[in-house]
A and B are shown apart, each in its own frame.
Chain A
Amino acid sequence: MSALDNHETLTGAVPRMAPARLRLPEAVTGILLILPAIALLLALTCYPVLYGVWISFFNKHSFFPQQTFVGLDNYLFLLRDPQFWSAVWLGCVYSVSAIVLQIVLGVGAAVLLNEIFPGRNILRAVVIFPYVVPTVIAVILWKWLLNSQFGLVNYLIEQAGLVDQPISFMGKDWIMASLILVSVWQFFPFVVIGVLARLQTVPGELYEAAHVDGANAFQRFIHVTLPQLKSVLFVIVLLRSIWMFTKFDTPWLMIQGGGAETYIRTLPVYTYMRTFAYYEAGLGSAMAVVMFLALAVATACYFRIWQREENL
C-alpha cells in the first residue's frame, strides 16, 4: 500500500473528503460537469435549428406573431417555384466555380510559396491579405475597380486594346463572373494557408527519391505532392463547399446600390429576400431547411466517396 492510498498528498496534507454517502459516482459527476456545456449547445445551436424547422411548417410573418399552420405547403410551393430552382442553379454555378478556382489558385500559390526565393516571407504575408479584409470592404473595393465609368480594370483593358467599350461588370453578362472573381480573390488564401502548412511537413526524401528516379517537376507534383495533399484538400474542399454554398454577404453586397441582382440571386440571397422582403419567415425557413438537407446529403456522399477511395 502506498502512502498516497492513505489520502495523504505528497506534501503530507490530508485533503478533506466528502462523507461517503454524499459522494457521487464518477460518471454522474462527469455528466454534471458537462451539463452546462450541453445546455448551452442545445440553447444556442439545437433550439434555433429546431425552431427553424418548426416554423417552416407555418405561414408566418417575419416580425409579427401571426402564423398559420400549413403543413408541407411551403415545401410544395418551393418544388413548383421557378425562382427557387433558378436560385439553386445560380448557387451551384457560383459555388462550384468559385471552389474550383480557389483550389487551383490556392494550391498553385502554396506550391510557389513553398519554394525558396528572395522576398518569400513578404509574399507569404501579402497573400493572406485578401482573407483578412472584411467582406464589405472587399466588395466595395472591387466594385470601384470594376466600375464601367471610372474603374481601373476597364481602364487597363481598354488601354491594352482588349476591348473597344468598357465592360459593365455589374451588368447581366458579367455580374456572375465578377462575383466569382471577388470570391476567389478573397478566399483562395484560406487554401494557401492549409496547403502550405501541409507542404512544409512533406519529407524532402520523397522528392529526392522521385528526382533520382528521373521524375520532372510536373511528375513530382502529380505523384508526390498531390497524394500528400489529399487529406488536407479533403477538409478544405468540404469546408469551402459548405461556406460557398451558403455564402450570403458577398453576393448581397454586390447588388447593393446597383448590380444585375437577378443574375446572382443565389439560394441564400433568395432565402433572405423571402424572409425580409416578402416577410415570409415560414417559406424562408423551409428554404433554409432544404439548403441544410442538401448540404448534409452532399457531405455524407463526399465522406462515402472519400472512404471508398481510401480503401482502394
Chain B
Amino acid sequence: MSLLARTALAVTAGLFAATSASAADKVVRVWHTETEPQTIKAFNDIARKFEAKNPGIRIEAEGLAWGDLEGKIMASLAAGSPPELSHGQPITCTSLQAKGLLAPLDEVVKAVGENNIWDQVKRVCNVGGKQYGLVHAAGTSLLIYRKDLADKAGLKPPKTWNDLLANAKALTQDTNGDGKIDIYGITLPGDNLFVNIIMGELTKANGAQLFDKNNKPMLTDKKMIEILEFWRELAKYAPPGWEGHGYLQTFQNLYGQKAAMMFQGYGRGAGMIEKFAPKEMANDKTFDVWVKPHGPSGNAPAAQVDEEPWMLFKDAKNTKEAVEFLKFFYQDDNYLEYIRTVPIHFFPVTKSLRQSESYKNTEMIQRWKGWLDAQEQYLEKDWGKPTLIVEWSDMNDKPYLMEVLGSGILRDMVMDVVLEKTEPQKAAEKAQKRLEDLMKSKGYWKG
C-alpha cells in the first residue's frame, strides 16, 4: 500500500472515529443574545468546563443579534426543532408559555436557592407558581447625566417630568458663545425597540395603562396623552435628528459630549465611557446617575429591566441535560465569570453573588458602584419591570405584547407627535385605531 493510500485510510478512520464519538454526544443547543466577545468567550469557557465534568454532553452555543432572535425561535418551533435553551424577551417567554411550548425551570431555581434569587427576577415568566423563564442577568435602565455640568448649573435630581424638562433646558448650552448649541440637554433613542421600552417606562411612571383588563387599548386615556406631551417637550432638548439615533449612538452622544443627559442609559455604557470618553472624564464623578422621575399622574419612578430569561423548550431533545447545564451556569464561580464580562450591566440575579467579596472586589464594580446601587434600588423597590410590562399581571394576561412591540404602532404615535407636530390627542386616536385593529385581528379583543 502506498504512503498516500495509507495516509488516506488513516485520515478516513480518524474522521469516522471522531464522527462516531460526537454522534454519541447529547447536544444542548443554546441561543443567547450576548454578542460582546468577552461574554461569548466566558460563556464558552463555562460550557467547556461543564462538558469536562459531564462527558457525553456537548454544549453548542450561538450568539444571535436581537433582531434575529424572535424570528429564529418561531421558525425553529414551526420546524419542530427548537434549541434546548434560548434567551428571549420576558414577553416572548409568556407568549410561548401560553402556547404550551416551554418546560418549567423549577429544578434550576431549587438548585440556585429560591431565596437566593431577587423577587423581581422570580416574577419574570412565572406562571401558576412555576418558573418558565430564569433571567440570566438583570440590568435596569438608568438616567445618566453629566454631574460636572449639573453641579456647575446647580441642578437638583429631578423628581417629576417637569423637573427633568427644566434640567434638560438648563443643560442645553452654547458653551463657546458662538450662538450655536454645543451640548444638548438629553439624548434619546429613536429606534422601535427603545421607543417601546421608554413608552413602557413612562406608562408606569405616569400611573397609566396600555390596555385595560379586557385588552382594549388605552392610548387615548388622559394619562397617555400626558406621556405624549412629555415626549414632545423632551425632544426639544435632544440633538437634531435624534429619531435616527440607535442605542449605541445615544451613548456616543453622551461620551462624545454632544448631550448632557441620557434618558435610556444602561450599565453597559460604563464600559463605553471608559473606552471612548476622554480619560479624565471616564469615571462616575463625571457621569453619574439620577433616579428616573415620575409623571404628573404618577407617584413613583419606573425603569425597564433588561432581563432576558433562559427558556427551556419542551420539544427539544435534551432538556434534562439543559437543566443540568443551567444549574452549573448559576454556580457562583461560573456565574461570576460570566457577570464580570459586562459587570455594570449584568446585575447578578443571585443575592449570594451580589454579596460575595469576589464580586464586590471587582475593580470596575468599585469604580461604578453608584450605578449598581441605583439598579439594586430599582429592583428592591419593584420600580423596574420588563419591556412594556406595566403591572406584573401583564406578564401572563397580555401575551400579545410582543406583537405590539413589533408593529411599531407606539413608535409611530410618538413620531407623529414629535416630528409631524400632530396634536397628541389626534396621534393617540390614530394609533388607538391601529392597535384596536391589531387586537381584533389577533382575537384578543372583540371591540
- Chain A contact residues, CB within 8 Å of chain B: 59, 62-64, 83, 147-150, 164-165, 167-175, 255-262, 273, 276-280
Q: How many angstroms from the CA of A97 to the CA of B241 in the assembled complex? A: 23
Chain A residue with minimal CB distance to B249? A258
Q: How many angstroms from the CA of A278 to the CA of B441 in the assembled complex? A: 10
CB pair A171 B406 closer than 8 Å: no
18 contacts between A and B (CB under 8 A): A63-B75, A149-B249, A149-B258, A165-B180, A168-B240, A168-B244, A171-B242, A172-B244, A172-B419, A255-B191, A257-B191, A258-B246, A258-B248, A260-B190, A260-B244, A261-B191, A262-B411, A279-B74
Chain A residue with minimal CB distance to B245? A258
Q: A165-B240, A168-B244, A173-B241 are in contact. List 4 more A-B contacts (CB 8 A).
A: A63-B78, A148-B239, A168-B245, A259-B191
Among B74, B77, B253, the most chain A Cβ lie within 10 Å of the Cβ of B74
Interface flags for B404-426 (1: CB within 8 Å of A; 0: not) read 00111001100100010000000
Q: How many angstroms from the CA of A146 to the CA of B203 in the assembled complex? A: 34
Q: Which residues of A contact B206 (CB under 8 A)?
A: none
B67: contacting residue among A167, A173, A175, A256, CB under 8 A: A256
CB pair A149 B406 closer than 8 Å: no
CB pair A64 B241 closer than 8 Å: no
Chain A residue with minimal CB distance to B189? A258
| Pairs of residues from A and B, 9 with the lowest C-beta to C-beta distance, nearest first | A168-B241, A258-B246, A171-B241, A277-B406, A170-B244, A171-B244, A63-B74, A257-B246, A63-B78
Q: Which residues of A contact B239 (CB under 8 A)?
A: 148, 168
B296 contacts partner chain A, Cβ-Cβ < 8 Å: no
Chain B residue with minimal CB distance to A282? B441
Q: Which residues of A contact B245 (CB under 8 A)?
A: 168, 170, 258
Q: How many angstroms from the CA of A173 to the CA of B434 in the assembled complex? A: 25
Chain B residue with minimal CB distance to A255? B191
B429 contacts partner chain A, Cβ-Cβ < 8 Å: no
CB pair A171 B240 closer than 8 Å: yes
Q: Which residues of B contact A262 (CB under 8 A)?
A: 408, 411-412, 415
Q: Which residues of A contact B75 (CB under 8 A)?
A: 63
Q: Which residues of A contact B86 (CB under 8 A)?
A: none
B99 contacts partner chain A, Cβ-Cβ < 8 Å: yes
Chain B residue with minimal CB distance to A148? B241
B34 contacts partner chain A, Cβ-Cβ < 8 Å: no
Q: Which residues of B contact A62 (CB under 8 A)?
A: 74
Q: Which residues of A contact B411 (CB under 8 A)?
A: 261-262
> Which residues of chain B in 73-127 are interfacial with respect to chain A, using CB atoms and an 8 Å cutoff?
74-75, 77-78, 99
CB pair A175 B244 closer than 8 Å: yes
Q: Which residues of B contact A255 (CB under 8 A)?
A: 191
CB pair B441 A280 closer than 8 Å: yes
Chain A residue with minimal CB distance to B248? A257
Question: Closest CB-CB distance, B367 to chain A, in whole Å?
Answer: 25
Q: Which residues of A contact B252 (CB under 8 A)?
A: 149-150
CB pair B241 A167 closer than 8 Å: yes
CB pair B244 A258 closer than 8 Å: yes
Q: How many angstroms from the CA of A257 to the CA of B193 in the assembled complex? A: 9
